[in-house]
Amino acid sequence: MAKTSSTTKAARLAQKGGGQKIRFQGGSTFPLTIAAIVVIGIALVIYSRASVPDHVAEALRTPAPIANVAYGFNMCGDWYEFDTADEARENGRLTDPKFADIGVSQIADGTISVTSLTATLDKVFDATGITIDDGTLTIPEGVLTGGETSYVSGTTKCGDEVGTLSSTTWTSAEATSGDTITKGIEASTLARDGSVVVISFLPEGTQPTMPPSAANLTLAADAMAPTTEIGPASTVIELEPVESTVAPTTTADS
């Protein structure tokens, strides 16, 4: 008898298996488990999004506020500010790229308004050409409203007394004391809203004080607040009272 070819055997196996369904090992438990996991995962995602506290959601929607900082240069008892009278402005705000690039949107009346959380004195110094190197403060001519162009700690004198360069920061205009440093002055932050920063060159032992511009912090905050355009006033039409045409109801005497 001739041997059955492999093709014939395959055909017979196909006939025997015809109509049979493929089943998962273990029945329907596995696919149901996968489906349940997917449904639970979707439900958890929906719940987590819906359960975000209102104050957190509001904080995520609200842009970072502008920080308004009062500043001043106290050079041997005389107060100076940045001379920005000739800087390009639009609606009262600085438009010079050197300020925009560091997040400074306003310098006026002894205050600085910044929109960057990383704004520091060194960035403003870089933009204006001021340098501090090993206790020496160098100020290009015309950058401040007055004063000398160089102050050297331990060498330059205020009158007959040798001066010291320092920076003092107060947390607010109402603070009774501030933090004074003589090193790392350029790293002083400008991102704390309502704070006061002073760069001083005073005789050794002299306590730095707040600048006159500390009183302008409220004005700076008002100037930098977003404005709301008011549309045309609505027209109010007064209507005259209309007399009733319905006859009064009378009650018959019983």
- Give dist(CA 201, CA 97) in Å, integer: 30
Is the model's pLDDT at 214 over the cut of 70? yes
pLDDT given at position 13? 54
Contact 78, 179 (CB under 8 A): no
Contact 111, 220 (CB under 8 A): yes
- Give dist(CA 152, CA 121) in Å, integer: 19
Is the model's pLDDT at 225 over the cut of 60? no
Tokens of 119: 């704004």
If phi > 0 it is left, if psi is from -120 to 50 it is alpha, else beta; for residue 219 that is alpha
Between residues 221 and 124, which one has the greater pLDDT? 124
pLDDT tens for each residue of 227-241: 333 334 333 334 454
- Give dist(CA 242, CA 169) in Å, integer: 70
pLDDT tens for each residue of 60-106: 444 445 788 999 999 999 999 988 776 666 655 666 777 778 888 77
pLDDT given at position 50? 60
- Residues paired with residue 114 on neighbouring β-strands, in sequence order: 67, 104
Between residues 154 and 226, which one has the greater pLDDT? 154
Burial annotation 124-155 (CB, 10 A radius, 16+ → b, else e): bbebbebebeebebbbeeebbeebeeebbbee
Side chain identity at residue 9, one-letter code: K
Tokens of 161: 């007394």
Indicate the domain borders of the chain: 67-221
Contacts of 13 (CB under 8 A, 6+ apart): none
